[in-house]
Chain A
Amino acid sequence: MARITAGVTTSHVPAIGAALDLGKSGDAYWSPVFAGYDFSKRWIAAASPDVVILVYNDHASAFSLDIVPTFALGCAERFQPADEGWGPRPVPVVEGHPELATHLAQSVIQQDFDLTVCYRMDVDHGLTVPLSLLFGQPQAWPVRVIPLPVNVVLYPPPSGRRCFELGKALRRAVESFDADLDVQVWGTGGMSHQLQGARAGLINQVWDNRWLDRLITDPEGLSRMPHIEYVREAGSEGIELVMWLIMRGALSAEVDVVHRFYHVPASNTAVGHLILEDRGPSATAGGLVS
């Protein structure tokens, strides 16, 4: 039986990818950002998951304004890094897991989540920056990835509640897959940031850290936070945080916090990063703690 062993959340700032791709990760500006992921690289090497269900938002790369799916799932064999206007990032092609992805799609649709199934979809920095942060710059990504893009660009995005419930449905789906796989769920984007208008550059460190606390201990309550609170407190792009609730919904109520990192700034954005290990019956005990 497949099982969910851990959840990871991280911001997916495009400038982080650019810093890495241009060899600037050791600069004074960037090294404190990358230092927050040193532990994470050791942890992921030890955990060695078979598959990551990677929740992110497409930034007008795979989906134009012609079609805007609220939740989508990548069921293809592989996914090409997108050309976002400066050429594709020099990162490996992302290998999917079509058998598990197809099972997930069927299972969550039958649990009343009407997601869009994608057999061809380029993946942008929203998906590749988190992979770079955890795995560095390998020749090939050492894990299969099932992309799960969420619309947080065109209002209204799905509610935190809906995201949290989708996480739970994903867990049931994974646990009903008949192959021995260690699966992680990653939620990406956030934390506070605004990329438009006179209010651009908004950062709310107090709110972000309280939000992280609640994601760990009170995700059920946190999932009821209305969209407008994200906009007022965390900036118009801070709404990406609802995607972290999909990760949290996929884990058991009690989790072990093995790593927590917060840093301001990366370009326009507050960077947040958590690694949570599942305490459910199928979770592996022990391991690294930062």
Chain B
Amino acid sequence: MALEKPYADVPGTVIFDADQARKGYHLNQFCLSLMQAPNRERFRSDERAYLDEWPMSEEQKRAVLARDWNRMIELGGNVYFLSKLFSTDGKSFQYVAAMMTGMTQEAYAQMMLNGGRSPEGQRRIGEPARDER
């Protein structure tokens, strides 16, 4: 029997469940390896060679090299694991969140100062937006 996924209709969201975790195991473990300074150094000096030490899919490696955060999440990455990669790059959660929404960090930061993204129209795929804040 397949896993029950009541969250499948939430727009713009990938819930990190057992299927995602299985798919992303090596991608996520690669990210965790960057918690050690010597590994960060080795990764920075030759990203491709470092990635080739991990049994990740070619798609996952390309997504890492391109810093395509949404793609990494689709391929089983979880943002807290990925945070070790963007911290290695000197980037913040806010920078990466902005990238994932397709906004500039400045526009995203302003949206947050204005109270954040409204949940209206964001609860279910197809839900009409009721108001604009």
A–B Cβ pairs within 8 angstroms, 21 of them: A59-B83, A65-B28, A84-B84, A85-B85, A154-B78, A192-B116, A196-B73, A197-B14, A201-B112, A201-B116, A202-B119, A203-B116, A204-B119, A227-B6, A232-B124, A236-B10, A264-B112, A265-B112, A265-B116, A268-B93, A268-B112
Q: How large is the interface on B (under 10, 10 to 19, 20 to 34, 35 or more residues)?
A: 35 or more
Q: How large is the interface on A (under 10, 10 to 19, 20 to 34, 35 or more residues)?
A: 35 or more
Across the interface, do A83 and B35 meet the contact criterion of CB distance under 8 Å?
yes
- Could you say which residues of chain A place their CB within 8 Å of the CB of B14? 196-197
Query: What are the 8 closest A-B residue pairs judged by CB atoms, nearest first?
Result: A203-B116, A85-B87, A198-B12, A199-B12, A265-B112, A155-B17, A200-B97, A59-B80
CB contact between A85 and one of B21, B70, B88, B115 (< 8 Å): that residue: B88
- Could you say which residues of chain B place their CB within 8 Å of the CB of A64? 28-29, 32
Across the interface, do A84 and B10 meet the contact criterion of CB distance under 8 Å?
no
What would 13 more interface pairs be, CB under 8 Å, given A64-B28, A198-B101? Answer: A18-B92, A60-B32, A65-B28, A85-B83, A85-B87, A86-B90, A153-B78, A195-B96, A200-B97, A202-B117, A203-B112, A205-B115, A232-B119
Across the interface, do A60 and B13 meet the contact criterion of CB distance under 8 Å?
no
- With CB as the reference atom, state the residue of chain B lying closest to A86: B87
Across the interface, do B93 and A15 meet the contact criterion of CB distance under 8 Å?
yes
Q: How far is the CB of A153 from chain B (nearest CB, A)?
A: 6
Across the interface, do B16 and A153 meet the contact criterion of CB distance under 8 Å?
yes
Q: How far is the CB of B83 from chain A (nearest CB, A)?
A: 6
Say whether, besides A15-B92, A60-B83, A155-B17, A201 and B36 are in contact (CB < 8 Å).
no
Across the interface, do B12 and A195 meet the contact criterion of CB distance under 8 Å?
no
Across the interface, do B84 and A267 meet the contact criterion of CB distance under 8 Å?
no
Residue among B10, B24, B37, B86 having the largest count of chain A Cβ atoms under 10 Å: B10
Q: Does B55 contact A (CB under 8 A)?
A: no
Q: Does A14 contact B (CB under 8 A)?
A: yes
- With CB as the reference atom, state the residue of chain A lying closest to B92: A15
Say whether, besides A198-B100, A268-B97, A84 and B79 are in contact (CB < 8 Å).
no
Say whether, besides A155-B17, A196-B79, A270 and B93 are in contact (CB < 8 Å).
no
- A70-90 CB contact bits vs B (8 Å, 1 = yes)? 000000000000111111000
Q: How far is the CB of A136 from chain B (nearest CB, A)?
A: 23
Q: Which residues of B contact A (CB under 8 A)?
A: 6-7, 10-18, 21, 24-25, 28-29, 31-32, 34-37, 40, 69-70, 73, 78-81, 83-88, 90, 92-94, 96-98, 100-102, 108, 111-113, 115-119, 122-124
Across the interface, do B85 and A231 meet the contact criterion of CB distance under 8 Å?
no
- Could you say which residues of chain B place their CB within 8 Å of the CB of A15? 92-94
Q: How far is the CB of A236 from chain B (nearest CB, A)?
A: 5
- Could you say which residues of chain A place their CB within 8 Å of the CB of B16? 153-155
Q: Taking chain A's interface residues, is the majority helix, strand, or loop, or is none over half, making it mixed?
A: loop
- With CB as the reference atom, state the residue of chain A lying closest to B97: A200
- With CB as the reference atom, state the residue of chain B lying closest to A196: B79
Across the interface, do A154 and B37 meet the contact criterion of CB distance under 8 Å?
no
Q: How far is the CB of B80 from chain A (nearest CB, A)?
A: 4
Across the interface, do A228 and B6 meet the contact criterion of CB distance under 8 Å?
yes
Q: Does A194 contact B (CB under 8 A)?
A: yes
In the complex, A160 Cα to B86 Cα: how many Å?
Answer: 31
- Could you say which residues of chain A place their CB within 8 Å of the CB of B84? 60, 84-85
Say whether, besides A64-B32, A154-B18, A199 and B115 are in contact (CB < 8 Å).
no
